[in-house]
Amino acid sequence: MSMSEVLHVERSNYLATIADLKSQGFEMCVDVTGVDYLTNMDRPLPDGVIAERFEVVVNLLSLSTKSRQRIRVQVPEDDPTIETLFFLYPGSEAMEREIYDLLGIRFLNHPDLTRILMPEGWEGHPLRKDYAVGAVPVQFKSVNGAG
């Protein structure tokens, strides 16, 4: 039977908390993702947790104890930054780049914080709730023999 818990961590304690969990046997970072709560700022949170526009969510796994740990961190709109997990979990590199690309949350000390899905010159972050909805021209590459 697997156990799962959710920790709400202050941004200033994020890296230390993740490092501590890794030392306790959470050897795998399964997922890092981001959420824009612009339209749901009054969501329920535990007492003492102040809702911010953005949230970074990390899912860790301990194979030896068959346990999962979810970490949720509030990230303010006026300073959308948080430390990278790359040096603890190198596999988080691409996931953090995706969050940066689509939501605009910057991962401090990340080794290559560049766009991963959108073109380099793309303006804005398409998964933000206030991103203008509109037609995006689709570019097709010509293929030899295609009619």
Number of domains observed in the structure of the chain = 1
CA dist 67 and 8 (Å) reads: 17
Q: Is residue 124 part of a domain?
A: no
Q: Is residue 138 part of a domain?
A: no
What pLDDT does residue 128 have? Answer: 95
* Below-70 pLDDT ranges, the chain: 1-4, 134-147
What pLDDT does residue 133 have? Answer: 73
User: φ, ψ for residue 28 (rounded to 5)?
Assistant: -125, 130
What pLDDT does residue 71 have? Answer: 98
Residue 18's CATH number: 3.30.460.80
Q: Which two tokens stand for residue 11?
A: 């941004």
Contact at 8 Å (CB) between 66 and 1?
Answer: yes
What pLDDT does residue 1 have? Answer: 39
Q: Is residue 113 part of a domain?
A: no
As separate numbers, helices (DSSP H) first and strands (DSSP E) second, the chain gives: 2, 6
Q: Is residue 117 part of a domain?
A: no
What pLDDT does residue 42 have? Answer: 96
Q: Is residue 127 part of a domain?
A: no
Q: Is residue 47 part of a domain?
A: yes
Range of the domain at 96: 3-108
